[in-house]
């Protein structure tokens, strides 16, 4: 099913979202990325029907669904923290959305079990949520979202609350579940976004500031704000304005001189924190760096006036 937002607006006090216009084709995967507070969750909740927009419309498969109840939208949602009933077993938790829609017990438990087996949880169906790891709990949440066979899946930072090893455990299941469905995946982490989708929508301060191929956006950010958000963490004055560059965009040379503040060794590489005139600069270095003065060239970067 396709998903389309037309002129969506929503305000909370000082914060205003939109107007957002966005079209996601049936079966397309899109990641929505932006810093904390940029309006990602609000946008997702409007699509899911959990927050009413102040204006604009949500079209699902070409039909205006703006006033449709959440459970009638054919949309599954996975949130940052698992939303499970502590007093129900894993199987009961996953069967619950079916039972509450009047599906018979036999069929509901059968379908719930099938989904849990697909998510590698077949041995845990009789456990309670508190007896599971956080990663397993998040997979049960995914099972709850999938059991109604939604054609549209929404994810709101489903890995953010997990430790890195658990993210690696859950991500493959999210990927498998996404196959063949229309997916909108919200995250504040651009790298995570690129795992999920080639098309990335960057949202800042409630506005869409980039929408396109993730590689293209990463290599050619449209503004200094997007560049900084994408890891162009270094900024130095240049003839063109300010040159923004990433730690790995430098090589040994004589163009710039910096005073070394700290050096550390991380994942097989040297990293340097240096002070170049008024700015702190982070650099990746191919070999053991000097301890006092470091000289480098900027191999590539992006120039912005601000």
Tell me the longest C-alpha to C-alpha distance in the chain.
74
Cβ at position 29, least distance to Mg ion in Å: 19
3-state secondary structure of 278: coil
Q: State in angstroms the smallest separation of the CB of 203 from Mg ion.
A: 11
> Other CB atoms closer than 10 Å to residue 86's CB: what's the count?
8
Say which entry of ligand ADP, Mg ion, none residue 242 contacts (CB below 5 to 8 A, set by partner kind).
none
Of 41, 93, 151, 182, the residue at the interface with Mg ion (CB under 5 A) is 41
Q: Are strands 250-266 and 269-276 parallel, antiparallel or unpaired?
A: antiparallel
List of E strands, the chain: 3-12, 15-24, 29-33, 55-60, 63-64, 75-78, 152-156, 182-187, 199-204, 207-213, 234-238, 241-245, 250-266, 269-276, 279-285, 293-298, 302-304
Residues 13-32 that bind ligand ADP (CB under 6 A): 15
Residue 63's DSSP bridge partners are 60
Binding pattern for the stretch 35-64 against ligand ADP, x by CB under 6 A and - elsewhere: -xxxxxxx----------------------
Least separation in angstroms between CB 75 and ligand ADP: 17
Residue nearest to Mg ion (CB): 41
Range in contact with Mg ion (rule: CB under 5 A) among 40-48, 88-96, 127-135, 276-284:
40-48
Helices (H), 82-201: 90-99, 105-118, 134-146, 164-178, 190-196
Q: Does 187 bind Mg ion (CB under 5 A)?
A: no
Closer residue to Mg ion (CB): 41 or 214: 41
Residues lying near ligand ADP in the complex (CB under 6 A) are found at: 12, 15, 34, 36-42
Residues lying near Mg ion in the complex (CB under 5 A) are found at: 41
């Amino acid at each position: 099913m396709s998903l389309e937002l037309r002129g969506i607006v929503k305000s909370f006090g000082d914060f205003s979202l939109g107007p957002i216009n966005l079209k996601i084709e049936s079966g397309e995967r899109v990641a929505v990325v932006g810093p904390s507070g940029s309006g990602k969750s609000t946008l997702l909740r409007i699509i899911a029907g959990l927050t009413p927009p102040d204006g604009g419309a949500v079209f699902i498969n070409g039909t205006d669904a703006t006033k449709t109840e959440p459970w009638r939208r054919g949309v599954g949602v996975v949130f940052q923290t698992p939303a499970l009933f502590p007093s129900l077993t894993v199987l009961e938790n996953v069967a619950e959305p079916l039972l509450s829609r009047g599906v018979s017990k036999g069929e509901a438990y059968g379908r719930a079990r099938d989904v849990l087996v697909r998510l590698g949880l077949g041995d845990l169906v009789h456990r309670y949520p508190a007896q599971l790891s956080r990663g397993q709990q998040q997979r049960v949440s995914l099972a709850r979202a999938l059991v109604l066979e939604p054609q549209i899946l929404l994810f709101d930072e489903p890995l953010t609350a997990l430790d890195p090893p658990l993210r690696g455990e859950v991500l493959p299941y999210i990927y498998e579940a996404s196959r063949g469905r229309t997916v909108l995946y919200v995250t504040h982490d651009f790298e995570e976004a690129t795992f999920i989708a080639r098309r990335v929508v960057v949202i800042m301060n409630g506005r869409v500031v980039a929408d396109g191929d993730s590689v293209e956006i990463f290599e050619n950010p449209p503004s200094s704000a997007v560049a900084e958000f994408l890891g162009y963490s270094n900024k130095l004055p240049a003839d063109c304005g300010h040159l923004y560059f990433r730690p790995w965009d430098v090589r040994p040379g004589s163009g710039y001189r910096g005073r070394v503040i700290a050096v550390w060794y991380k994942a097989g590489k040297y990293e340097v924190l240096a002070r170049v005139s008024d700015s702190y600069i982070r650099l990746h270095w191919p070999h053991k760096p000097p301890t006092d003065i470091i000289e480098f060239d900027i191999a590539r970067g992006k120039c912005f006036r601000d």
